[in-house]
Structures are given as C-alpha cells and as structure tokens.
Amino acid sequence: MINELEEGDHIDGVQRTYNFEAEDADVEGDLTLYYINTNDVTNWYKDKEPIGDQWGLSIAERVNGETDVLETDVNPYTNRATSEDVQLNGTHEFVITQ
C-alpha cells in the first residue's frame, strides 16, 4: 500500500512523491496514482507560464538517483495516471512528472 505522500521543494505542480512498501510480498498489476492541481490558479498555470499538458504526464520510478519513466495512460478528467503490469517487491518511490 502507499504509505506516504509528500511534496518536495524541488517538485512543482502536480508532481508528488509516492512511496510504496510491499515488504516481502511480490505485487504485480496496474499502478494508479491520483494527482491534484495545487498551483492556486486555474488552467494549470503557475506565474505566467503554463505548467504543461496533463496528457503528457507520466509515472516515473526513482531508483538510485535515476528516474525510470513508465508507459502511462492519463485521464486528466479524473486526475489519474496508470501504468500497467508493474511488478513491486520491497520499497519503491514513484513520481508523476512531465
């Protein structure tokens, strides 16, 4: 289960860090993450520049300081990003990124 959701200073807009702890279990299936617009303005703008197109968002896994972008289906109407056939064991860190 996802046991932590936090915003980092280096992460902007819809990007958040999701930590998944599977412990010793082998978990396989679709990974769905939900995001929110926390920019305090409408239409995905922060300051005068657009954050970007929600259709271009991706789920990425952070491993040893590297980011591995997963194939992602996005539904911007429900603020949902899904990656299929994800295999997890132990601790994993994911972000929704552009």
Quote the pLDDT of residue 19: 87
Query: Quick one: DSSP state of residue 70?
Result: P
* 49 falls within a domain: yes
Structure-token match 């990007």, residue found: 15
Domain that holds residue 29: 2-82
- For residues 21 and 37, which has the higher predicted lDDT (pLDDT)? 21
Instruction: Show the tokens assigned to 91.
Output: 């601790």
pLDDT in tens, 38-50: 555 555 555 555 5
| pLDDT interval class at 30 (50, 70, 90) | very high
Q: How many residues does the chain have?
A: 98
* 87 falls within a domain: no
Q: Is the predicted pLDDT of residue 3 greater than 90, yes or no?
A: no
* 63 falls within a domain: yes
* 16 falls within a domain: yes
Contact 8, 75 (CB under 8 A): no
Quote the pLDDT of residue 55: 80
* 97 falls within a domain: no
Quote the pLDDT of residue 28: 94
Instruction: Show the tokens assigned to 6.
Output: 């936090």
